[in-house]
Amino acid sequence: MRDNPEYSKRIIIALDDVSKDKINRVIDATAPFIEIYKIGSIAFTVFGPRIIDEIKNRDKEVFLDLKYFDIPNTVSRAVQQAVSYGVKMLTLHTLGGYEMLKAAVAANEGRAALLGVTLLTSFDAVQLKRIGIDSDIQGMVKRLALLAMDAGIDGLVASGHELEQLRNILGDKPVIVVPGIRPDDGAPAGDQKRVVSPKRAFDSGADYIVIGRPVTESNEPADTVQKIIKTLTRGE
C-alpha cells in the first residue's frame, strides 16, 4: 500500500443521483468518515454549481468528474470556470489529445488537480474494437497515460487492472484515482467491466478510490463505509 493509511481522506464517494434528499442522506451518513465527494455529470446537470457549494459548506472537498472532451479552446474555457468553484480535482478525457490537455493545464494554473481519464471501467477489448481501436486495454491505457504526463496533467483516472503497470512506468509521482470499486462481499459489477476491491486498489498503488453504488444504494451507507475502512485497516 501507499504510505498514507488515512483512508477517510482517500475514499471518494460518488454522488451520482437526481434526488437531492438521497444525496443529503448519503452525505449525512458518511460525513464522519469521508472527506471527498464526487460530483459527476448527473448531479451537476440536475443541480448545477450550487451542489459544489453545498458540499464545500459542509467543509468537504469536491471531485468534479465532468470528463471534458472537446476542442482545446472549449475545454480551456470550461476548465477556467470549473476551477473557479474551488474543486479539489477535475477530470478530462485523455482521448481529447495533447493540445486539448495542454490547454487545460494552462487554464487551470495549478488550482485543481487535473486528472486524465484513460479508459472507462465499462470498456473491455470488445468495446475498443467496436470503436476502431486495434489495441489491447493495457497498451492503450499506457499510451494515454504517457500522453497525459507529457502534457503536464497532474494525474490519472484508471482501472485497478492497469494500476500496477502504470506505477511501474510512471513511479509514485502522478496522482492515480481508481473507480470501478466493488467490496469483496459479492456487490454486483453492474455496467462496469474492470472492477477491483478497495484493498487490491490500494495495494496496487492507488492514491484514491471512488465508490458509488455499493455505498449510495446501501440501506446503511455509514455501515458500508465503516466496514470498508475496517477491512483496509486490518489489511484483510
Report residue 226 as a C-alpha cell: 465503516
> What is residue 116's predicted lDDT score, i.e. its pLDDT?
98
Instruction: Report the distance separating Cα 160 and Cα 200, nearest Å.
Output: 7
> What was the pLDDT predicted at 191?
53
Report yes or no on 144 lying in a domain.
yes
| Residue ranges, the chain, pLDDT below 70 | 1-5, 184-194, 235-236
Listed in sequence order, the residues at least 6 apart from 211 whose beta carbon sits closer than 8 Å to its beta carbon are: 11, 12, 13, 14, 181, 198, 225, 228
C-alpha cell at 172: 509514485
CATH code, domain carrying 50: 3.20.20.70
Query: Catalytic one among 38, 67, 142, 193?
Result: 67
Looking at residue 3, what is its pLDDT? Answer: 44
Domain that holds residue 25: 7-234
Q: Is the pTM of this model over 0.85?
A: yes
pLDDT tens digits for range 98-119: 999 999 999 999 999 999 999 8
Let me know: does 135 contact 128? Beta carbons within 8 Å. Answer: yes
Query: Does 113 reside within a domain?
Result: yes
DSSP state of 118: -
C-alpha cell at 8: 477517510
Neighbours of 227 (CB within 10 A): 14
Q: From the CB of residue 224, how many other CB atoms can be counted at a distance below 10 Å? A: 21
Helix locations, 123-211, DSSP H: 125-130, 137-151, 163-170, 198-204
Report the mean per-residue pLDDT for the chain. Answer: 90
Number of domains in the chain: 1
230 is catalytic: no
Q: Give helix 137-151 / helix 98-108 axis angle, nearest 10°.
A: 40
Determine, yes or no, domain membership for 1.
no
User: Which residues, including other chains, have CB under 8 Å from residue 93's CB and lie 6 or more apart?
Assistant: 67, 68, 69, 116, 117
d(CA 16, CA 78) in angstroms, rounded, equals 21
pLDDT of residue 78: 98
- Tens digits of per-residue pLDDT, 34-74? 999 999 999 999 999 999 999 999 999 999 999 999 999 99
